[in-house]
Structure 1
């Protein structure tokens, strides 16, 4: 479990500073819930069978904690959500959210209607990614805040209901940052590279583990500059922006995964550059 004094100081800084060191709370599908609870000892918390990041909450009194919970995009807002805390249930509620629709034309029709071999490939790649997203590590301190990994406007926000060639597909599980091909992509926080590869839909891809069930995903790169197992400091180069995989142009697709749920990266970022509303 995390050092109490260290995390206590982080939470004190959060309360005292506009530069919040906790993510912004948004109790909606694709958001983050900060759920307070009491426990006499360092708790083990899970949500939908995935382990959850927990930090002390000393401002609320002794033996007080916060569960930092990622809420999946397909979560049912009409149902009470359940945390398991040391074997005991704690309920919390979320609200529904309607995300906008986005219609894209993809020239490579196999990226819309994959053939059987493409699907077999993606199944293997999805298993590799799921293993990376589910990895649990315990570094010296949790990552609770991110810089932006690339410079550019936000061309496609998180959560969009997506249609490729008029066909409905899964919601947009990340944030697209429009940048020219070859632009640098930087680690937005410390972490360890867990997976790299060239994937059918995602193109050249990197997954970085930031500890305690929080990881980040970078897709469509033109070049990968890191290898699995490599430790990264904030600001170090991960690779270059590209247009590999299922794309309509050069950009970086950036996702954050918290307890294996894809959540809005901007909840962890204070910087808010221009959002392209086209």
Structure 2
């Protein structure tokens, strides 16, 4: 129905970037049939930012954050490959990081790069940042939002029923605070991506143990971890969620909200302000005001 009203095929990225027909139609001009979804245009006065998805693989949880960041900042978000429908999900962190780094460099050939990962996306963000630095590029302070380090926290194998229950709980948590209609997405497509990402998350500690200098190995750049001060995730220990075992120095900042609500109004304003304070203006360009 939506495709008939808009008169063209609608990429899933456009659906994930907007929840109204107007937003989706607007996004169609800039959303490629690839992994990188443009959530907001920039004017070149501020450091661009790339947001990396959580375990669900979707980008719609980032829409409030993109809207709350300082004017002039271009914002992209990476959606999981399997959400494109015609391509399988990534099976390894190495392949995911390589594809994401390539997508980032396609829209921004050279650094410094602004990268933010949320939840599972923290592990992916570290891998992407490490890959970019190995290629000789620079990364702005790496922003991690409420996600633990991949340090031996493997979960036992989950059967299909348990995995589906966990998937439904994740979807419910993602959509609980929505103030408007969300796009109707293919549940089986989302579950396929979720299952693949759970496999990557469970495999990351093994990958680091087998290749301590690999993509989830030690990273030398600055890292800031924003932690939710409310909800169950606020009680997790240690304070740096084990990132200090990978990164020599991690700055931990507590922000309002729980693991999910910190990306929604009103708590998202605090997160956006903290991110803006970290990221420098675009090179050589003064920031108005």
Q: Which structure has the larger Rg? A: 1
- TM over 0.5, shorter chain: no
More helix by share: 2
TM class by shorter chain equals under 0.3
The TM-score normalised by the length of structure 2 is 0.25
The TM-score normalised by the length of structure 1 is 0.26
